[in-house]
Amino acid sequence: MAANAVLPRTTKRRPVSWGNPLTYALALAVAAVSITPVIYVIIGGFRTTPQIVANPAGLPDPWVWDNYARVLSQSNFWRQVFNSAVVSLGTTIGVVVLGVCAAFVLARYTFRGREVLYTFFTLGLLFPAGAAILPLYLMLRDLNLINSYYAVILPQVAFALPLTIVILRPFLTAIPRELEDAAAIDGTGRLGFLWRIMLPLSRPALVTVGILAFVTSWNAFLLPLLVLGDASLHTLPLGVQNFSSQYTSDTAGILAFTSLAMLPALIFFTFAEKQIVGGLQGAVKG
Amino acid sequence: MTSTNPTLDLAGGASAPPAGPRPARRSSARAAETRRKWYEIIGLTTPAVIVYVMFVLVPMGFAFYYSLFRWRGVGPPTDFVGFDNYVLAFQDPIFLDALRNNAIIVFGSLLIQGPIALGVALLLNRNFRGRTVFRLLAFVPYVLAEVTVGIMWKLLLSDAGTVNAMLESLGLGSLVQAWLADLDLVIWTLLAVLTWKYVGFAIILLLAGLSNVPQELNEAAAIDGASWWQTQRHVTLPLLGPTIRIWMFLSMIGSLQVFDVIWVTSVPAVRSLGASATMATYMVDNGFFARLWGYGNAVAVILFAISFVAAVLFQRFLLRRDIEGAITRRAN
């Protein structure tokens, strides 16, 4: 589906042409609106605060690396990157493992109450995570989980499960029954079938739900804000927010910190974009 | 859909069709198999069910319980006040402002993002060199964390910020505004920021929907002499209906509980006057930071009830035809 202009025409793709000028003009306008503010922030990080105050819309003159160097040499920044990574990876692994197990049962077993169980999970799509945040905090406090990675990971897994199951189940259902029969004839049980055949075959769907869970968790703000009071556990979004409210006069520093915080998500998405769109294709199929 | 699923038909040995006398050994093997199946079902689903019930359903139940008390969050709640907290909320002009703001965001998002996203998706669905790059660029705002977006726009829109400076230098000094401090303007500024942030999500969904529209249909229309516009209007758009409605649903639920961008971008003083508050920021301000736990939980229940009713109504009237085929099943 990508416009692979460099590929030889021998592939089955339809030939890709240069569009008309209007198409490019509009596409450029869309791109400009999307990324100009982001580029401004990244370039602003190369200026000094006096430069920015004197002329908010100017270019760096001279370019200074100091802001970025300052943020990168802060142990806080790396600590927050580490915390974000632990929380996001923990959430992703939890969602994928629990989601696959439940979706496998809902897709490949016939039993009384199956549709009830499925509806029960899909109901979660109607429960906004935001609305539950206060009682969630109180419960985590009673469980003595406040100020631990679990306080973020467990609720994030729980709230990501409904969407994960909704995306995974049709995928697992679509895998042909013949494969299951063949596996049974070869003496593989249903669990062996799940492990050796289902998981490898459903990798695209697993990657999609994994990416969605990872990005959501990486960007999460409200839950960490309430349950991670301990600054040494702060994730990157909390770190950016604190930095910007603590050093309000250090505009250049804030811009540099914000740019560096954006970077992982941007890089990650650049590589995963196809997976996300491809995975959603199944979910929005009409 | 039960009958159409290509699943193992193990539905309880007892109800299996082949009737008639069976050797005893066979049926006990069957019972063992049924038991084994149930062990697997229970073993595989229990962890997910426990986590889901414990962290999604149970807290909502507790929210209702706590909302009936006046409670500062210390010790067990004892000061039972019935539905007073709910009455108080609907008497607070700031909460009513928050409700109004949520309504502006829900309808504003649908009316502004929908047409923009549709236009951009149709544009980026055309076949031209560099399309992949343009797609990636259009998704950038959606991928960024809400917090970074909020801080970015807060700096850009501050009184001495870049937006005003650029207006000055373009000779449009009369358009300079206190974007985030003007009590009448701030919610519209925030709506613009939210639009910038989330229109990419609509574009992603619509592009995914568009790639399901068979290319042959467009080609057939072209052969019949239809222009590009006519093809989009009469072939593509009708086929996108389900995707558009699913986006509307997700956008509505998201707008009702919007928190991060509002919280980070808007100034607390402006928020506390109600000008830029939403139900979620009002709930966190009052429940968590002012430690009015009973009251905050009442607001949580109201927020949940509104989302729930909106979702049910939407499903009932708009999604009914789509939900089966579009969200829950991959029609192969």
Query: What number is the average pLDDT over the span A106-134?
Result: 86
Helix (H) or strand (E) holding B70, with range, is strand B69-70
B169 contacts chain A (CB < 8 A): yes
Q: Do B146 and A14 touch (CB under 8 A)?
A: no
Output the 3-class SS for B184-212.
CCHHHHHHHHHHHHHHHHHHHHHHHHHCC
Residues in chain A: 286
Q: Using 50, 70 and 90 to split pLDDT, how confident is the model at A15? A: low
B32 contacts chain A (CB < 8 A): no
| pLDDT score of A198 | 84
Residue B278 forms part of a structural domain: yes
Residue A207 near residue A279 (C-beta atoms within 8 A) = yes
Q: What is the pLDDT of residues A48-67, one digit of tens each?
A: 888 888 877 778 888 888 89
Q: Do B259 and A130 touch (CB under 8 A)?
A: yes
Full residue range of the structural domain in which residue A58 is found: 24-64
SS3 A5: coil
State the CATH number of the domain containing residue A154.
Answer: 1.10.3720.10
For residue B253, give the chain A residue with the closest CA. A128
Q: Do B37 and A111 touch (CB under 8 A)?
A: yes
SS3 A1: coil
Mean per-residue pLDDT of chain A: 84
Helices B293-314 and A133-142, axial angle in degrees (round to 10): 130
| pLDDT score of A102 | 94
Q: Do A105 and B44 touch (CB under 8 A)?
A: yes
Residue A214 near residue A282 (C-beta atoms within 8 A) = no
Q: Which of B120, B144, B264 to mutate to test the interface with A (most CBs of A within 10 A)?
A: B144
B14 contacts chain A (CB < 8 A): no
Residue B17 forms part of a structural domain: no
B44 contacts chain A (CB < 8 A): yes
| pLDDT score of B146 | 92
Q: What is the pLDDT of residues A152-207, one digit of tens each?
A: 999 999 999 998 998 888 888 888 888 888 888 888 888 888 888 888 888 878 88
B284 contacts chain A (CB < 8 A): yes
Residues A48 and A110 in one domain: no
SS3 A48: coil
Q: Which residues of B105-123 are buried (b: 16+ CB within 10 A; e: fewer)?
A: bbebbbeebbebbbebbbb
For residue B42, give the chain A residue with the closest CA. A105
**Domain end marker among A8, A32, A64:** A64
Please give, rounded to a whole number of angstroms, the shortest distance from the CA of A158 to a CA of chain B.
5
Q: What are the backbone angles phi and psi of residue B69, rounded to the nearest 5°?
A: -120, 155
Full residue range of the structural domain in which residue B310 is found: 92-328
Q: Do A139 and B280 touch (CB under 8 A)?
A: no
- Smallest Cβ distance to B260: which of A134, A139, A221? A221
Q: Do A56 and B147 touch (CB under 8 A)?
A: no
Residue A192 forms part of a structural domain: yes
Residues A229 and A147 in one domain: yes
Residues A144 and A276 in one domain: yes
Residue A13 forms part of a structural domain: no
Q: What is the pLDDT of residues A218-272, one digit of tens each?
A: 999 999 999 998 999 999 999 999 998 888 888 889 999 999 988 887 887 777 7
Residue A257 forms part of a structural domain: no
Of A238, A220, A237, which is closest to residue A229 (Cα–Cα)?
A: A238
Q: How far is CA A60 from CA A24, A48, B67, B168, in A?
A: 29, 8, 54, 20
Residue A1 forms part of a structural domain: no
Residue A73 forms part of a structural domain: no
Token representation of residue B170: 């373009």
The Cα B12–Cα A90 span in angstroms is 37
Residue B251 forms part of a structural domain: yes
| pLDDT score of B321 | 59
B256 contacts chain A (CB < 8 A): yes
Q: Do A38 and B123 touch (CB under 8 A)?
A: no
Residue B46 forms part of a structural domain: no
Q: How many CB pairs under 8 A join A and B?
A: 346
State the CATH number of the domain containing residue B293.
Answer: 1.10.3720.10
Q: What is the DSSP string of B101-132?
A: HHHHHHHHHHHHHHHHHHHHHHHHTS--TTHH
Token representation of residue B28: 């006990």
User: Which residues numbered 205-244 in B keep a CB inside 8 Å of some CB on A?
Assistant: 205, 207-209, 211-212, 215, 239-243
CB atoms within 10 A of CB A250: 16
- Smallest Cβ distance to B308: which of A126, A238, A277? A126
| pLDDT score of B239 | 84
Token representation of residue A107: 């897709």
CB contacts of B73 in chain A (<8 Å) are: 138
Please give, rounded to a whole number of angstroms, the shortest distance from the CA of A171 to a CA of chain B.
7
What's the structural domain count of chain A? Answer: 2
Residue A170 forms part of a structural domain: yes
Please give, rounded to a whole number of angstroms, the shortest distance from the CA of B74 to a CA of chain A.
10
Residues A51 and A93 in one domain: no
What's the structural domain count of chain B? Answer: 1
SS3 B69: strand
Give chain B's residues under pLDDT 70.
1-26, 319-332
Residue A265 near residue A219 (C-beta atoms within 8 A) = yes
| pLDDT score of B128 | 82
For residue B288, give the chain A residue with the closest CA. A134
B297 contacts chain A (CB < 8 A): yes
Strand partners, B69: B80
Residues A53 and A154 in one domain: no
- A50 Cβ partners below 8 Å, 6+ apart? none
Residue B275 forms part of a structural domain: yes
- Smallest Cβ distance to B307: which of A110, A126, A283? A126
